[in-house]
Homo-oligomer: A and B are copies of this chain.
Amino acid sequence: MKFTVSEIAQMLDGNIVGDEKITIDSAAKIEEGRPGCISFLANSKYESYIYTTQSSAVIVNKDFVPKKEVAATLIYVENAYTAFTILLEEYQKRIANAKSGVEQPSFIGENSQVGDNCYRGAFSYIGKNCVIGDGVKIYPNTYLGDNIEIGDYSVIHPGVRIYDNTIIGKNCVIFANTVIGSDGFGFAPQADGTYKTIPQLGNVILEDNVSVGSNSTIDCATMGSTIIRTGVKIDNLVQIAHNVEIGKNTVIAAQSGISGSTTVGEQCIVAGQVGIVGHITIANKTKIGAQSGLGKSIKKEGLSLSGSPARDLNEHLRSMALVRRLPEMEERLKDLENKHETSDFQGQ
């Protein structure tokens, strides 16, 4: 997608100094710019870059006065940083809206309804009795089973698999190859050493504004629902087991896993590669450090935890510092033992 500097200045209510017909097709940091890019200068610390940048245009604060010659076209605005952010959002919105209509071949089952202004990519599959809202984008090579609901303006990226009976709210984004609603890992051990599959008959519910990264998995409940509340953000390669509930606006980073029937509170922050055992409850605003293993319920709100098993972050750091110093501690212990032997000997 391409814009002229003149179109951008109009969008941002800015004044142009330089060539207003230059075409912009990308954005870059001022120090990494190349022809065709637009950058911004808000902090005077970076001012030197504006005299050497390869970017074609730079958004600057209205009080900016160049000390040397500037090759780039300048767009003067009230607040350069805010204007740049608005521009990026506008750019992304236009790209997102570029897709619409139905590509062929695509598949749609009996009694499934699709709202207005939707996109259905080639090789996408929608089963029976689905209800797809307005403005929903279903990218190519996706699979939606039967009885699925998807709220307005949600985006289902390529290769996503959504199992029967899943309910997805409005403005959700599910990135490529993520799987929602496959069977929870439930097997009953038998006397002969084999395992019998426990039927997994529940579903998954994603409320509004949920984002799920690529190649993640969210299992359906054994009975009832696995629930991801409004505003939750989940990264790539994350595992959410059956009957888990994730509270509003909680964030979960890449490669973390949450075991079955655990309830995570609201506004928690779970860093990368964290493991959380099943059947526990975690209070609101809990922060869990990378690679931690959480083994029991957290009742007090707002704690910062780390380690495996996880405990108070500062205590964990203190212990880890001493683990590093264990060889030294052992030396000191030996020293004391030697002194004792000597003094025992002397005492004899």
Interface residues of A (CB under 8 A from B): 26-29, 32, 88-89, 91-92, 95, 103, 105, 107, 121-123, 125, 139-143, 157-159, 161, 163-164, 173, 175-177, 179, 182-183, 185, 187, 193-195, 197, 199, 201, 209, 211, 213-217, 219, 223-224, 231, 233, 235-237, 239, 241, 248-249, 251, 253-255, 257, 259, 266-267, 272-273, 275, 277, 290-291, 293, 308-309, 311, 315, 318-320, 322-324, 326-327, 329-330, 332-333, 336-337, 339-340, 344
Sort A-B residue pairs by CB-CB distance and give the 9 closest, nearest first.
A143-B158, A161-B176, A322-B326, A179-B214, A88-B199, A92-B199, A217-B236, A125-B140, A176-B179
A339 to B333, CA, bound (A): 14
- Residues of chain B lying within 8 A (CB to CB) of residue A26: 201
- Residues of chain B lying within 8 A (CB to CB) of residue A275: 255, 272-273, 290-291
| Complex: chain B residue closest to A183, CB-CB | B175
A163 to B319, CA, bound (A): 44
- CB < 8 Å neighbour of A92 from B29, B163, B201, B324: B201
10 A-B residue pairs with Cβ-Cβ distance under 8 Å, sorted by A, are A95-B164, A105-B105, A143-B176, A163-B176, A176-B182, A193-B267, A194-B231, A215-B215, A254-B257, A273-B273
Question: Do A273 and B257 contact each other (CB < 8 Å), given the known contacts A179-B215, A195-B233?
Answer: yes
- CB < 8 Å neighbour of A211 from B197, B209, B251, B323: B197
When the two chains form their complex, are residues B330 and A177 in contact, meaning their CB atoms are under 8 A apart? no
A10 to B88, CA, bound (A): 61
- CB < 8 Å neighbour of A182 from B175, B327, B344: B175
Query: Which of A143, A233, A277 has the most CB atoms of chain B within a 10 A radius of its CB?
Result: A143
A137 to B315, CA, bound (A): 53
For the residues of A in contact with B, the DSSP-based class is: loop
- CB < 8 Å neighbour of A223 from B29, B223, B241, B320: B29
- Residues of chain B lying within 8 A (CB to CB) of residue A105: 105, 122-123
A43 to B224, CA, bound (A): 20
When the two chains form their complex, are residues A91 and B322 in contact, meaning their CB atoms are under 8 A apart? no
When the two chains form their complex, are residues B125 and A107 in contact, meaning their CB atoms are under 8 A apart? no
When the two chains form their complex, are residues A182 and B157 in contact, meaning their CB atoms are under 8 A apart? yes
- Residues of chain B lying within 8 A (CB to CB) of residue A173: 183
- Residues of chain B lying within 8 A (CB to CB) of residue A103: 107
A176 to B180, CA, bound (A): 9
Q: How far is the CB of A143 from chain B (nearest CB, A)?
A: 4
Question: Do A143 and B141 contact each other (CB < 8 Å), given the known contacts A176-B179, A239-B255?
Answer: yes
